[in-house]
Amino acid sequence: MFTKRRAETEYHRYLKEVPMFATLSTSELDAIAGAVTDLRLEPGRVVVEEGRRAAEMMIVTGGIAEVTCDGAHVATLQAGDVVGELAVLARQRRTASVVAITEVELIHLTADRFAQLLADVPAIAPKLLGVVASRVTDQIQTGVTP
**Cα separation, 29 vs 12, whole angstroms:** 6
Distances (CA, A) of 14 to 7, 75, 98, 125: 11, 22, 22, 20
20 versus 39: the higher-pLDDT residue is: 39
Residue with more model confidence, 109 or 5 = 109
What does pLDDT average to over the chain?
A: 85
Confidence grade of residue 3 (pLDDT, cut at 50, 70, 90) = very low
Specify the pLDDT at position 135.
67
- Measured CA to CA, the distance from residue 35 to residue 21 in angstroms comes to 14
Mean pLDDT of 16-34: 88
Q: What's residue 98's pLDDT?
A: 96
Residue 45 near residue 99 (C-beta atoms within 8 A): yes
What is the separation of C-alpha 100 from the centre of its chain, rounded to a whole number of angstroms?
15
Amino acid 2: pLDDT: 44
Residue 54 has a pLDDT of 87
Report whether pLDDT(64) > 60: yes
Q: pLDDT class for 8, splitting at 50, 70, 90?
A: low
CATH architecture for residues 37-111+139-146: Sandwich (2.60)
Residues of the chain with CATH 2.60.120.10: 37-111+139-146
**What is the value of pTM for the model shown?**
0.81
